[in-house]
Amino acid sequence: MNITSLQTFLAIVETGNLIRASQKMNVTQSTVTARLKTLEEEVGQQLLNRQKSGTTLTPAGTKLLRYARIMVGLWRQARYETNLPVGLEAVCTFGCDRELWHGPGQNFFHGVVSRHPEMAVSVHQGSAKELEDWITSGIVDVIITYESIARTAQTVYALPPEKLVLHSDDPESSISEGPNYIFVDHGEEYRQQHAETYHYTGVARTSFDSSRWALEYLLSAGGSAYLPRALADPHVKDGRLFPLAKAPIYERKKYLVVNDTAAQNWDWFLPLVHDLQSE
Q: Which domains does the chain have, with CATH numbers?
A: 3-80 (1.10.10.10), 84-160+254-277 (3.40.190.10), 162-251 (3.40.190.10)
Q: 261: pLDDT confidence band, cut at 50, 70 and 90?
A: confident
- pLDDT-based confidence at 84, cuts 50/70/90? low
> Does the pLDDT at position 139 exceed 90?
no
pLDDT band at residue 17 using 50, 70 and 90 as cut-offs:
confident
Is pLDDT at 157 greater than 70 in this prediction? Answer: yes
Return the biggest CA–CA distance within the chain. 68
Average pLDDT over residues 38-61: 88
The predicted pLDDT at position 107 comes to: 94
Question: H or E stretch including 207?
Answer: strand 206-208
pTM: predicted TM-score of the whole model, two decimal places: 0.70
Mean pLDDT of the 111-123 span: 87
Q: Once rounded to an integer, what is the mean pLDDT over residues 49-76?
A: 83
Residues 6+ apart with CB under 8 A from 166: 175, 224, 225, 226, 243, 244, 247, 248
pLDDT for 205 equals: 84
Total Cβ atoms within 10 A of residue 184:
25
Binned at pLDDT 50, 70 and 90, residue 174 comes out as confident
Predicted pLDDT at 253 = 94
Q: What is the pLDDT of residue 150?
A: 67
Reported as a pLDDT band with limits 50, 70 and 90, residue 85 is low
Provide mean pLDDT across the span 17-46.
89
Given a contact cutoff of 8 angstroms between Cβ atoms, the answer to whether 94 and 131 are in contact is: no
